[in-house]
Structure formats: C-alpha cells, structure tokens
Amino acid sequence: MNKLKTLEMIDISKSFHDVRANDRINLKVSSGEILGLLGENGAGKTTLMNILYGLYQPDSGEIRINGRPATIDSPRASIEHGIGMVHQHFMLVQNHTVIENIALGYARAPGLFPQKKIRRHIVAFSKKFNFNIDPDKKIWQLSAGEQQRVEIIKALVNGAGLLILDEPTSVLTPQETRDFFLILERMREDGQMIILISHKLDEIKNLCDRVTVLRKGRVVGHAETDGLDKRALARMMIGRDVVFSFSREKMPREEKVLEVTDLTVDGDKGYPVVKGVSFDVYRNEIVGIAGVSGNGQRELVEAITGLRISRKGSIRVNGVDITNQSPRKIHNNGVSHVPEERIRFGIAPNLFVYENAILKQHHQKKFSRRAFLAYGRIKAHTKQLIKDFQVATPSIHVQTKNLSGGNIQKLILGREIADKPDLLVASHPTYGLDVGATEYLRNQLLKRREEGGAVLLVSEDLDEIFELCDRVAVMFQGRFMGILASDDPRIADIGLMMAGAKQFDAKDAAHAAM
C-alpha cells in the first residue's frame, strides 16, 4: 500500500429520495494537516464521510488519492487505501482485551497466535504517540480517553494515513481532551492526515490548519483557521451571527420543586450505579449535573422520570412522593423530560409531526372527546408549537423521522414545556446539534427558568453547564463529588472532580444549596 500523501474529493454529489445531501462538494487534505469539517445538522457532513469510508457510493464525482482516481466501494476498500475512521460511539467489545479488539479489526492478522505481532504494534504506537495503553486490559477497565486511543491504534495498525474523527471529544474529561489534542499534534508532526468533524468551534479554531464549511449540502467556504475567530466560523456555518455568551441574571430562589434523598438506583446489570445521591432543585434555578458519560447520570434521570425503579431513597416533587411512580403519573405531577436519546425515547419516528406533538397529552380533555381524538385541536396546537419553537418542517403531516436532529429536538422541547411544567429534566439537550440549534435551545431553558420553572440539566458540555447553571453537581461512579454554585472559585477543579480525584463533602453541598 502506497503512503497516502494527498486526498481529494471532487464534485461529490449524493441524493436520497430526491433530497440532495451532497451537491458538488470539493475538499482536499494533505500529509501533516488537520482539516476541520463544519456544518449544521443536515448539512451533509456525515454523508460525505460515509462516502469517503465506503459506506455510500456517490451519484457523481470522484475521489483521488495521491492524484490518481480511487474506487472506494466498501469500508474494506477504504482501509486498503489507507483511510481509517473513529466513530463517535466506539466500536469495541467490552469484555475483550485491547489486543483481542485490535486483532478483530486487523486486516492482515496472522491466522495463528496474532497477539505477539499485534502487541509489538501497540507498544510501538504507544511509544511514538504517548498512548500509554496496557495491551492486556479489558476494554471495560479503560477510561473513555483510553478507549478512544485503542480505536486510533486499530486504524493505525491497518496502515491508515488518513484518520476521520467524528466528534472525538464528546465523551472526554477536560484533561483527557487536552491529552488527546497533544496526541493529534504529534500525529500531524508525523505526517498523518486528519479530518476532524466537530460542533465545537474552539476545537476547530485551535487544532485545525484549515476548515471546510458545509451548508445545506454545499460548500460555502474554505478558510485557514489562523486568525479566524469563532464568530466568523459560525456565520459561515449558519449564515448569521450567533450569540456565544448568554445573559443569566441572578434570580431569587423560590420554593423547592425537586427533593431527592439518599437515592440508590441499579443499572442494567443489577448492581447500584447511583449510590446515595441527595440534592434539591428550586424554582427560578437551573441545576446542572456534569460528568463523563456512564457515571450514573442516565440512571438517575430515569429514576426521576419514572423510567427506572429505584432501590432505595425518595424523590419528591412539590412535596409529593413520586418515587417509583409511572411516567404518566410523574408527568401529571408537573415533571417533563427531554430524553438523552431523542430518536429512541423522545419520538415515535414513523408517526406524523402532529401526532408526536401531543404524545404525552393525547389523553387530556383539550385533545380528546371521550374515546376520540380531537384532530382539529391537535393540528392547531401543533401549528402553533412549530411556530413558537421554530421547528423547520414542510408540513405537520410528514413523518417525524424525516426532520433533522435539531428540529426533532426543538419539537420535543416544545412539547415538553408547552404546558409550563414545574420541573423540566433535560438530558444532553444540545448534544450533536449545530451552533444555531444549540443557541436556540439554551435560550429556551433560560426562558423557562425566568418563568419560574425548575430545570435539571444533565450535560457533558462544560461550556453549556457554566453558561446556564446556577449550581453544578459533578457525578463520578454514581456519587456526587460536590455541588457548587457556578461562581464558586472551587469550580475550577471540575476536571479533577469529573475524574474522581477531588471531592467536596456534604457540608459543601449543603452550603451551595443555601
């Protein structure tokens, strides 16, 4: 396999059911260069990278490697051409060791006893790029940052000269992110080519040499990142200026809405993953829960919203015990929920927009007459909702799965807060969204706070936590490392708290709640 020095995508076009996902796109990346790929949700970034990785075939256009046309009709062909991809969600077998995972993906692994050869590769790459990976550890024993390095080694072992990285820092702590950036800089110095897909404009600006920006399936600009500010990047991306700092006025804390006491919740494997957690949320307040994914945040939210049974402790809303009640009863007690997995749990993808707009309210008198739904009222409500929450849809009669991720999230948020709930539980509400949709959704959360609502926000985006939250709890291995006011100087230690290296005791948490 020849060393990959340049790669070009020339006039690439791809359509799905008459919808043009890519329209004559051109980009180029060279050895020793990191190219940023930016665009709104639905701009065509994923489709373009799936073409480069052989998962889709273009309708027209060509790919050139080292100046010569190349046919990439499968991931295997992509790997043979020296292209590797590290997906946003890692493709690793948790109960296998590092060596076993890399052997599974190694195209030239010897038939017998491949471990010896693969161990040499792991040691060599670990030394070269300072990966510090133990080949004999099982994947479940590794942090998210270490698992990401295993994915990179998998690609490098197969001879990847070009790495495609899809939202690579979404599951990393601040320290792991800094370490990861150092690794990418070493790889660039070694002549590696990297295409970085990210919604984080600071990452693009600080790490990439150049950026290609897509909007509605077309390239709207190429730019050198040196000297380019993130406002200019955002303007290229969505066609207007974006607000990056939100005005969050201090508000007097009103009565207590949510009271969680000594809550213990089991995970899917039957052992506790939330361990004796206690906290409160008040009206006119946003409380954030920060932490790396997999430390009990999902199970805590599911217990509060009725999707998971808690083993011990209590949950009260406005003084009413809702512990282990059904989701409908909890919703009827004033709790709304924006779920982490919006497609899986937030909507019924095959139902129309107007049907999804009243999923939790269809039994209410305003939307039903005895045993029949009042479709006239439902459709009028939906039209008002999509207007109020700026949901871009050609009609309320289209299947909801055909909307972009940002518009599905706007629809869910609109549905959940239209009735002014006492408590809004928002789990990763802007995850994977472009800067325009992110700006809009964050403003809606602040608006709900100003209206007197209580908001519990779970997010891995620390910028989002700092911009929106009055208090911040940090979760590690099922416990709170502390609950601090957003202006508490100790919040600077949030990275250490997320890694479990620092903890503030219950007195600190109680003090922050005063």
- Give pLDDT tens digits for 266-279: 988 788 999 999 99
The domain made up of 6-238 has a fold known as Rossmann fold (3.40.50)
Instruction: State which H helix or E strand residue 285 sits in.
Output: strand 285-290
Contact 457, 429 (CB under 8 A): yes
Give me the percent of the chain exceeding a pLDDT of 70: 91
Which of the following CATH numbers is that of domain 256-512: 3.40.50.300, 3.40.50.720, 3.40.50.970, 3.40.50.360?
3.40.50.300
- Give pLDDT tens digits for 216-227: 889 988 888 887
Where do the structural domains in the chain lie, given as residue ranges? 6-238, 256-512
Q: How many CB atoms lie within 10 A of CB 106?
A: 17
- Give pLDDT tens digits for 73-91: 998 899 889 898 887 667 8
Q: Tell me the C-alpha distance between 260 and 392, whole Å.
A: 37
Q: Which residues contact 237 (CB under 8 A, 6 or more apart)?
A: 38, 39, 40, 43, 213, 215, 220, 434, 435, 436
6-238 against 256-512: fold identical: yes
Q: What is the pTM of this model?
A: 0.64
- Give pLDDT tens digits for 165-195: 887 876 666 777 788 888 889 889 989 999 9
Q: How many CB atoms lie within 10 A of CB 122?
A: 23
